[in-house]
Amino acid sequence: MKTLTLLWVSLVLPFIGLAQTTIFSEDCGNPSVTTACASYAGWQNKSRLTFTASSSGPDVRTTLSSSGYSDASGDGNIFFINGVSNRYIQISGINTSNYTNLSLSFGILKTTNASNGSELVVEVSINGSSYTTLSYTLATGSGTSNVYYLKTPTGTIPSTGNLRIRFRYTSSSSTCQFRIDDIKLRGNLMVLPIELLSFNCEKSKELLKLTWETATESNNKMFVIERSADAVGWEAIGKINAVGNSATIIHYSFVDQSPLIGLNYYRLKQVDFDNQFEYSTIICVESNKSLDDKPTYIDLQGRSINFNELQPNVIYVKNTNGVCTKIIIVNNY
């Protein structure tokens, strides 16, 4: 994050729509030989998603290819052998931040009639350390083994920038083996409530003035202005009512009359009439006790420069009473 920065951004803030979209579909490819998942290079989505697996398996093979349900792809499938717990395969790097009502489906085969599928759990995570289990069951009894079922587990799948989906074998005593194929994630794609053209900050005496422009608006109720000292903890410092719907450029402004001493991080919380919301990008401005002060700076060649001579995109060293205190980046301030 630059210390002094004014950013010109082109940003679209999404809002929930109704379009059902396939986010990704993985058919496991077609391996020429049985290959451990940890080293398999034939994933359908290898170029855009990350596949990791435990060193003890599972593997990808073509025996007992998927069939019996709509769009079964056949060929490769993920094979979980029995007898070793915590074998897993994980798919990560899935960006679901612009989707809602997320739904996962997959083809699954078990090898024993008695198993209801509880040995193989399906989990999701936003951070790779804590996981939430999704729920599904398989039919039991005569004739329920060695056939594929298309399952859609229940539970909440989060909207996040890096979703992880993990299949994990949990039993060291079960005799049941499993095969997984045709993993598919769908969701409702968010449509566009506003197009934010700019978000800037201007200095005026001891005040900081935020300005922003929208190119289009749909169902836009208001903007809540939020401020932070560290870009982690945020507080609402004001709100501006929006026009609601517009196809022309609309200008907004808000004055922070009591900015923090030091760094001030700002973001916009866009709220629609259904109280759904999204956040803008973050901008950062440094404020002193008196913003009219003209501190002296030294460039990397040692030349003294006054405040009015500061150039954009140049690194300077801040000089206070002859002591160099820190390096800042000046960008159109």
Mean predicted confidence (pLDDT) in 229-240: 91
**pLDDT for 42-64, tens place per residue?**
999 999 999 999 998 899 999 99
What superfamily does domain 19-188 belong to in CATH? Galactose-binding domain-like (2.60.120.260)
Q: Residue 86 is which amino acid?
A: N
Q: What is the mean pLDDT of residues 312-332?
A: 49
Q: Report the amino acid identity of residue 274.
A: D
The fold of the 11-15+190-287 domain, in CATH, is Immunoglobulin-like (2.60.40)
pLDDT, position 196: 85
Question: What would the two tokens of residue 124 be?
Answer: 């999701």
325 vs 156, which has greater pLDDT? Answer: 156
Q: Which of 106-115, 244-253, 297-306 has the lowest mean pLDDT?
A: 297-306
Between CA 333 and CA 320 the distance in angstroms is 19
Of 220, 217, 198, whose CA–CA distance to 271 is shortest?
Answer: 220
Supply angle C-alpha 312, 314, 317, rounded to 5: 120
CATH 2.60.120.260 residue ranges for the chain: 19-188
- Of the chain, the percentage scoring pLDDT greater than 90 comes to 55
Q: How confident is the model at residue 314 (pLDDT cuts 50, 70, 90)?
A: low
Q: Check residues 137 and 21 and name the one with the higher pLDDT.
A: 137
Look at residue 318 in the predicted model and tell me its pLDDT: 55
Q: With beta carbons less than 8 A apart as the criterion, state whether 185 and 23 touch.
A: yes
Kindly tell me if the per-residue pLDDT of 307 is higher than 70: no
* pTM, to two decimals: 0.58
The percent of residues above 70 in pLDDT, for the chain, comes to 79
- The residues of the chain that CATH labels 2.60.40.10 are 11-15+190-287
HSE, side-chain direction, 13 A CA sphere, residue 241: 1
SS3 letters across 152-194: CCECCCCCCCCEEEEEEECCCCCCCCEEEEEEEEEEEEEEEEE
The pLDDT of residue 315 is: 54
Q: What pLDDT is attached to residue 4? A: 28
Distances (CA, A) of 92 to 95, 166, 209, 325: 9, 9, 40, 42
Residue 132 has pLDDT above 90, yes or no: yes
Measured CA distances, 54 to 36, 167, 169, 312 (Å): 9, 11, 11, 50
* 207 burial level (CB within 10 Å; 0-12, 13-18, 19+): middle
**pLDDT for res 8:** 31
Residue with tokens 């903007």: 223
